[in-house]
DNA sequence: GCCGCTAATATGTATAGACATAAGTCCGAG
DNA sequence: CTCGGACTTATGTCTATACATATTAGCGGC
């Protein structure tokens, strides 16, 4: 869990535009250039590095796209000030997550029904058709790891009606057959009720991490899934740096 | 909380390289081009769009950097297959988050001590010096919103010893004075103990979302903060699309 | 068949020049 | 003094060209 101090300043990227980019990036990250400071004009960097403006521009544009700097015509390029703490969150596929720990993975289907929509999210998912509703438990070795409640749109994935989700977990099947292009994740904490607690083999009212994910493919709702993780057993790790802009 | 179906195909970005980029992106997101498929060679796109290779290259390189496609010399460019569910998580500044909801923000400092390190994370943070330890509550209007436990490295931020954190919340002060360049966030669920519950004005053992963040600046530990949110009152939202690679 | 050389090919990087566009500056007309 | 328009400047986009580099196909010799 320790963080190795990154070696900075040492590497010399082969490509010049990348060197320019990392040079400036280093100046910003080290604090030598603070938010609001102007970085040198393109024509100054052109002289400094003895290269053409395209090369400099490529470097600075990349930084701009990464949100580190802000470019303003006629004025110059400025170090952006960080706004929100933003991080990349990996929400792993449960099977690979569990097998990556050297444990056996198993998905046990508890129930599966087809039903008409009866809620806002359901209506949007269904698009006038019925929905597939699944409930199951992901196991790591013999221990319940997560409880999953899932709705699948039979409009987006008609084949889902004929799949045996006792064989393959719905997440894995969907990723293979109806990959999503947009997603929204919500993360909250909640106490498990008696029924869920029994399925997870934990005491009632244990604090659990609830992850709800809704996915779309080209604007059409594909699935909505709620996964409940016993709080002590699991945590999500998000890595990385500041978003600016 | 509804998701408006994105209008695709309609917009025509001013810049040609962006149009090429969004064209290909659309083909990938719509599924017309699946993982592993080869996209047209640069020279083909050059003809298709009637432009120079630089322009095409810029578009494809951007897609490659975004992880949507993979480029292989001599072979061509291929649609990358998505690997993990990855999303951008916004962890907002609490003040702006609360004020953005039209509520009053207030930070109340409960205690502040300087102490020598006594744990792994603490030792790394301290770097042989003492640490500043803070405890406080973020309020939205008159209601407790989050409980914060924070360690600040006096090596990375010696000025912190002289700051009145009753006036400005530590997070805001740090962001202003010692911005971080790397961070690690952990998210878990837990039941509050009696002392924390009293500070948050909630029943003991309520499920809470626990967010722990450690930040560094150029490899030097800056701060470690644990924030406890009453589970019902708050959730984190992560947006966006698949990470590939 | 296997090794190593050569040739072909697609991408990677860079250049110099051109014109477009947005946004300040400055000055003159009213 | 203020409102517009002309000028200036820095970035934004694009071209045509050149050479570098990685990877594969194919061929010749053993």
Q: Which residues of A81-109 are buried (b: 16+ CB within 10 A; e: fewer)?
A: ebbbbbbbbbbebbbebbeeeeeebebeb
Instruction: Give the gap in angstroms from C-alpha B219 to the nearest C-alpha of chain A.
Output: 5
Own/partner contacts of B34-38, CB < 8 Å, gap of 24 or more, are B34/B79, B35/A179, B35/B79, B35/B80, B35/B81, B35/B82, B36/B78, B36/B79, B36/B81, B37/B78, B37/B79, B38/B76, B38/B77, B38/B78, B38/B79
Residue B157 lies in a domain: yes
CB A28 within 8 Å of CB A68: yes
Between CA B148 and CA B141 the distance in angstroms is 17
Closest to B6 in 3D by CA, of B243, B239, B244: B239
Please tell me whether residues A46 and A141 are part of one structural domain: no
- Asked if A238 and A90 touch (Cβ cutoff 8 Å), the reply is yes
Which nt is closest to the CA of A57, judged by C1'? D11
Q: What pLDDT, on a 0 to 100 scale, did the predictor assign at position B237? A: 59
Rounded to whole angstroms, the distance from the CA of residue A74 to the C1' of nucleotide D8 is 9
CB B51 within 7 Å, strand D: yes
Task: Point out the residue nearest to D21 (C-alpha to C1').
Answer: B73
Confidence (pLDDT) at A135 = 95
Q: Is A199 helix (H, G, I), strand (E, B) or coil?
A: helix
Q: Which position has the token pair 């521009």?
A: A57
Which parts of A4-102 fold into alpha helices (H)? Answer: 16-29, 42-49, 53-65, 94-100
Tokens 């950097």 sit on residue = B65
* pLDDT tens column, B16-68: 999 999 999 989 877 788 888 999 999 999 999 999 999 999 999 999 998 88
CB-based contact (8 Å) between A78 and chain B? no
Residue of higher predicted confidence among B160 and A187: B160
Instruction: For strand D, give the nucleotides within 7 A of a protein CB.
Output: 8-18, 21-24
Check residue B1 and give its pLDDT. Answer: 42
In angstroms, rounded to a whole number, what is the distance separating the alpha carbons of residues B109 and A40?
A: 42
Distance CA B174, CA B95 (A): 14
What is the H or E stretch that residue B112 is in? strand B105-115
Rounded CA separation A200/B189 (Å): 15
**pLDDT mean across residues, chain A:** 82
DSSP code of B160? G
pLDDT for position A7:
33
Decide if pLDDT at B5 tops 70: no
Chain A window 133-172: which residues touch B at a Cβ cutoff of 8 Å? Answer: none
A30: domain CATH number is 1.10.10.10
d(CA A172, CA A154): 17
As a whole number of Å, the CA-based R_g of chain B is 24
The verdict on a CB contact (< 8 Å) between B179 and A209 is: no
Q: Is the same domain home to B69 and B103?
A: no
Q: Establish if B10 belongs to a structural domain.
A: no
Query: Mind telling me how many Å the CA of B90 is from chain A's nearest CA?
Result: 4
pLDDT interval class at B86 (50, 70, 90):
low
Q: Is A67 on the interface with B (CB under 8 A)?
A: no
Q: A63 and A103 in one domain?
A: no
- Give me the residue label for tokens 């109806």: A178
Kindly report the CATH number assigned to the domain that includes residue A98. 3.40.1410.10
Are B104 and B212 in a shared domain? yes
Cβ neighbours, 10 Å, residue B67 = 16
Query: Is the residue at B6 inside a domain?
Result: no
pLDDT digit string, tens, across residues B95-147: 878 888 889 999 999 999 888 777 777 777 777 678 899 999 999 999 999 99
SS3 at position A134:
strand
Q: Is residue B203 scored above 90 in pLDDT?
A: yes
User: Are A36 and A130 members of one domain?
Assistant: no
Nearest residue on chain B to A97, alpha-carbon basis: B84
Which of B37, B62, B79 marks a domain boundary?
A: B79
pLDDT at A86: 57
C-alpha distance from residue B153 to each of A175, A221, B114 (Å):
43, 46, 10
Query: What integer is the mean pLDDT of A218-237?
Result: 77
* End-to-end CA separation in angstroms for chain A: 30
- On whether both B47 and B94 belong to a single domain, the answer is no
- Do A158 and A234 fall into the same domain? yes
pLDDT tens-digit map of A188-225: 888 999 999 999 999 999 999 888 888 887 678 889 99
More confident residue, B84 or A104: A104
A234 part of contact set with chain B, CB < 8 Å: yes
| pLDDT at residue A45 tops 90 | yes
Q: Comparing A197 with A4, which gets the higher pLDDT?
A: A197
Tell whether A72 and A134 lie within a shared domain.
Answer: no
**Cβ contact (<8 Å) for B238 and A187?**
yes
Q: A137: which residues sit within 8 A by CB, 6+ positions away?
A: A107, A108, A110, A144, A145, A146, A147, A148, A199, A200
Local confidence band at B241 (pLDDT 50, 70, 90 cut-offs): very low
Please state, in angstroms and rounded to a whole number, the distance separating the CA atoms of residues B114 and B78: 55
Comparison of pLDDT for A134 and A8, the residue scoring more: A134
Average pLDDT over residues B222-231: 88
| pLDDT above 90 for A57 | yes
At residue A24, the pLDDT reads: 94
Confidence of residue B90 (pLDDT cuts 50, 70, 90): low
Q: What one-character DSSP code corresponds to residue A244?
A: B
Q: Note down the domain range covering A152.
A: 88-239
Of A47, A79, A111, the domain-final residue: A79
**Which of the four pLDDT bands, split at 50, 70 and 90, describes residue A242?**
very low
Do B37 and B122 lie in one domain? The reply is no
Q: Are residues A229 and A115 in the same domain?
A: yes
Contact B190 A182 (CB under 8 A): no
Claim to verify: residue B198 and residue B136 sit in the same structural domain? yes
Residue B131 lies in a domain: yes
pLDDT value, residue A13: 62
CA distance A47 to chain B (A): 23
B107 at A interface, C-beta within 8 A: no
Q: Which one of B184, B219, B237 has the shortest CB-CB distance to A186?
A: B237
- Domain assignment present for A199: yes
Name the nt closest to B38 by C-alpha to C1'.
Answer: C10
Same domain for A147 and A112, yes or no, is yes
Does the structure show a pLDDT above 80 at B171? yes
- A186 located within any domain: yes
| d(C-alpha B244, C-alpha B25), whole Å | 13
Contact, A239 CB vs strand D, < 7 Å: no
Q: Both tokens of residue A163? A: 């799949």
- Interface membership of A52 toward B (CB under 8 Å): no
**Could you please report the per-residue DSSP string of B38-98?**
EEPPHHHHHHHHT--HHHHHHHHHHHHHTTSEEEETTTEEEEPPB-SEEEEEEE--HHHHH
Structural domain includes residue A245: no
Mean pLDDT is highest, among A55-64, A168-177, B74-83, B167-176, for: A55-64
With respect to residue A32, please indicate whether it lies within any of the assigned structural domains: yes
Query: Is B205 an interface residue toward A (CB < 8 Å)?
Result: yes
Q: Which two tokens stand for residue A104?
A: 């056996």
Could you give the number of structural domains in chain A? Answer: 2
Task: Among A52, A79, A106, give the residue marking a domain's end.
Answer: A79
Residues on chain B touching A239 (C-beta within 8 angstroms): 183-185
């Amino acid at each position: 869990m320790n963080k190795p101090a990154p070696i900075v300043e040492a590497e010399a990227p082969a490509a010049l535009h990348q060197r320019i980019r990392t040079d400036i990036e280093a100046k910003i990250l080290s604090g030598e250039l603070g938010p609001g400071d102007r970085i040198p004009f393109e024509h100054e960097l052109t002289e400094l590095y003895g290269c053409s403006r395209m090369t400099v521009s490529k470097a600075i544009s990349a930084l701009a796209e990464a949100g580190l700097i802000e470019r303003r015509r006629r004025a110059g390029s400025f170090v952006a000030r960080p706004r929100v703490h933003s991080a990349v969150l990996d929400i792993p596929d449960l099977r690979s997550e569990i097998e990556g720990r050297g444990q056996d993975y198993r998905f046990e289907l508890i129930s599966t029904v087809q039903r008409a929509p009866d809620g806002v999210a359901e209506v949007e998912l269904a698009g006038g058709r019925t929905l597939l509703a699944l409930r199951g438990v992901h196991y790591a070795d013999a221990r319940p790891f997560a409880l999953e409640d899932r709705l699948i749109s039979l409009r987006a994935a008609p084949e889902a009606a004929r799949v045996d989700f006792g064989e393959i977990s719905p997440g894995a099947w969907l990723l293979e057959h109806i990959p999503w292009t947009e997603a929204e994740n919500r993360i909250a904490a909640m106490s498990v009720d008696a029924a869920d607690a029994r399925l997870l083999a934990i005491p009632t009212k244990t604090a659990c991490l609830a992850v709800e994910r809704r996915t779309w493919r080209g604007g059409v709702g594909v699935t909505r899934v709620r996964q409940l993780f016993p709080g002590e057993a699991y945590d999500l790790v998000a890595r990385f740096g500041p978003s600016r802009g």
